[in-house]
Structure 1
Amino acid sequence: MTDSLHIALLAFDGVQILDVSGPAAVFAAANDACGRAFYRVHILSAAGGAVRSSSAVSVASAALAGLAPAAVHTLLIVGGEQAALLRMAAEPAVRLWVRDCAATARRYGSVCSGALALGALGLIDGKRVATHWDSCDTLARNNPGARVDADALYIEDGRLWTSAGVTTGIDMCLAMVERDLGAAVSDAIAARLVLYARRPGHQSQFSPMLHAQARAGAPFAALIGWMKEHLAEQLDVPALAARVAMSARSFHRKFSAAVGETPARFVETLRLDQARQLLAARVALKDIAARTGFATPAQLSKAFERRFGVTPMLFRATHAR
């Protein structure tokens, strides 16, 4: 039996509890799935002891000095209250340990706003990185040498792995497990954790549907939810207007103002977003076209390439699991 891979999660007072518990649960479930202690998870802090989370739940931690940086396979700095996170990153002992660890670890990175600490430690220059949408501007401003992707759920750039807000840490760690143990194990973990779907890193932090629903309000928010469930049906202006008891002209004007896209453009947005997810899941192009409301695979391909700049097949080749 090979030695366990040491996973270090670096926490602090004010940490976001899900940034710790989500990744820890993924690696623990991987051990269960493969029937042995493939991973050993360490929750670390500068001094050790109980770490208070932002949600009033405390987590037991060990002092980072007790784990040699060279022993760490994967280092993740988790997110939380920004001021507390940056205070931790400014501590000399933390700075030295993290930099030494990042120099030798097979992977290093962050969950959520933990990327701010990586930036403060000079570990993201020249890299493409993700973080919580609320921290993107700060991260970009403080680290002009980094390329901050405000859309991605998580990003792998060489040995550096970074994720967006909170639950995306689970998606990222599932991708790490898949890299280490294969897709069957990561899919089994997703099922064990009762995840609705595994999300690829290229997926936006905000789905077009949720973004539009948040912006639109009544009566269009409910209509948008219905549209998402009926993409294969006729979704032209007369049909949609009838569902909200409006004239076609009034509906077109009010919907466009509320959502920021014309009805036709938004319907295509929903259909292409669903097509991306189905392509990543390796569904046949003919079936995708039928399920998303495109008359033919050729029509889907033309719309997809026009919107994203790549063919569906090239997208699948680079993003499929």
Structure 2
Amino acid sequence: MAVHRVAFLVFDGMKMLDVSGPAEVFAEANTLGARYSLRYASPSGEPVRTSIGTRLPVDSAAADLDVDTLVVSGGDPLVTEPIPSELTAAVRHLRARAHRLVSICTGSFVLAAAGLLSGHRATTHWRHAQLLARAYPDVHVEPDSLFVEDRGIFTSAGVTAGIDLALSLVERDHGADLARDVARSLVMFMQRPGGQSQFSAPLKMSVPRTPALRSVTDLIAAQPALEHSTDSLAVLVGVSPRHLTRLFSAELGTTPARFVERVRLEHAKALLDAGHSVAASARAAGFGSPETLRRIFVARLGVSPGHYRARFTATHSDPRRPRTPAGDRSRTDRTPSASLRCPGTN
């Protein structure tokens, strides 16, 4: 079996987990029969300081690497400061040598700045997806995906999604059985349910310019459980349903019905976060029935409200209820997906 050379391109301010997480996946795969060599490089060949304050030594300068898979880590400076030209130059140089190009979290901004994502589908951390789309309009950003593959370029969402992506690469290289053994060993999912939306912050609505539309959105936000049909909302502010629909489209880029659904979904998430039952959350948010809430949750977030509630309401296990480690449940009774696109939104 040939050695597969994985190189991590690092820089000052990089997220430590963006490197250590995927690297552990490849290293664990090696204990089970894979042959990955792991190397670390900076543009200059000098050590870098990570996001947690430690210094990370590197093996070489980027120009001296031979590489099969190049992994570009993310970091907060990539979205707050200009991306260094030496970093984009290093990526372009290594891209010419690498068979596979990978970015973790905001590492996608480096790829985009280097011109390597032009015309490609890509993702990044949900908090920065809109910025990536605005800054690089020729990139087709998929804000809900945990990771995306497009013509040999792989991009992932927040830091732990980089671990998911690394596992999927192991599956591509060595098959589902070895990848499943890695997942079990690291106690992780083979394919994490849902997308990024389940992790994202509450909806931040733009303030409409038109007073009538502002009155409508304020009412929906304050009392999501009311009827809120387009006709009833139009009567409330004295405009025709067609005109109200035009206002929603022009100022908010959506329809009245979709806006109501988004607000209700955010309200239901907040109630579930606070520990309310699925049935109570469905009623209070205006969905009417738990089944309607479940259908909307699965369609929009990729998980059921019950699973969402279990995942986000506590960090401890119920001592009265035996639990199985996530890795031992991870798709052991299902055929692993060959797709790198997750359903649906760290």
Provide TM-score, normalisation by structure 2. Answer: 0.63
Paired with 2:99 and 2:115, the residues of 1 have a C-alpha distance of 18
Report the identity percentage.
Answer: 32
Q: Which residue of 1 aligns with 2:19?
A: 20
C-alpha distance 89-203 of structure 1, shift in aligned 2 (>3 A): farther
Equivalent runs, 1:221-240 vs 2, <5 Å:
221-224=274-277, 227=278, 240=279
SS at match of 2:115: coil
What is the one-letter code of the residue matched to 1:106?
Answer: H
* CA deviation string 1:267-318 (max 9, x = no partner): 223466458x9xx95979xxxxxxxxxxxxxxxxxxxxxxxxxxxxxxx896
Point out where structure 1 has 5 or more consecutive residues left out of the alignment. 228-239, 245-250, 285-315
Q: Which residue of 2 aligns with 1:72?
A: 67
Equivalent runs, 1:252-271 vs 2, <5 Å:
252=283, 254-256=284-286, 261-264=287-290, 265-270=292-297
SS at match of 1:43: strand
Equivalent runs, 1:53-92 vs 2, <5 Å:
53-65=50-62, 67-68=64-65, 71-83=66-78, 89-91=84-86
Higher relative contact order (CA 8 A, sep 6+): 2
Paired with 1:141 and 1:84, the residues of 2 have a C-alpha distance of 12
Paired with 2:62 and 2:340, the residues of 1 have a C-alpha distance of 39
Contact persistence 2:25–2:166 (CA under 8 A) = yes
C-alpha distance 65-268 of structure 1, shift in aligned 2 (>3 A): closer
2:28 matches 1:33: no
Larger helix percent:
1
Q: Which residue of 2 aligns with 1:198?
A: 190
C-alpha distance 42-263 of structure 1, shift in aligned 2 (>3 A): farther
Instruction: Count how many residue pairs are aligned between Structure 1 and Structure 2.
Output: 251
Aligned mate of 2:40, from 28, 32, 43:
43
Contact persistence 1:80–1:114 (CA under 8 A) = yes
SS at match of 1:125: coil
Deviation at 1:107, TM superposition (A): 0.5
Equivalent runs, 1:69-148 vs 2, <5 Å:
71-83=66-78, 89-91=84-86, 94-148=87-141
Paired with 2:333 and 2:185, the residues of 1 have a C-alpha distance of 23
Contact persistence 1:11–1:51 (CA under 8 A) = yes
2:52 matches 1:52: no
Paired with 1:263 and 1:130, the residues of 2 have a C-alpha distance of 34
Equivalent runs, 1:178-197 vs 2, <5 Å:
178-195=171-188, 197=189
SS at match of 1:167: helix
Deviation at 1:210, TM superposition (A): 9.6
Contact persistence 2:63–2:90 (CA under 8 A) = no
Paired with 1:282 and 1:208, the residues of 2 have a C-alpha distance of 25
RMSD of aligned alpha carbons: 3.4
SS at match of 2:197: coil
Contact persistence 2:145–2:195 (CA under 8 A) = yes
Paired with 2:273 and 2:163, the residues of 1 have a C-alpha distance of 31
What is the one-letter code of the residue matched to 1:207?
Answer: Q
Contact persistence 2:123–2:155 (CA under 8 A) = yes
Point out where structure 2 has 5 or more consecutive residues left out of the alignment. 203-264, 308-329
Contact persistence 2:72–2:103 (CA under 8 A) = yes
Deviation at 1:143, TM superposition (A): 1.1
What is the one-letter code of the residue matched to 1:82?
Answer: P
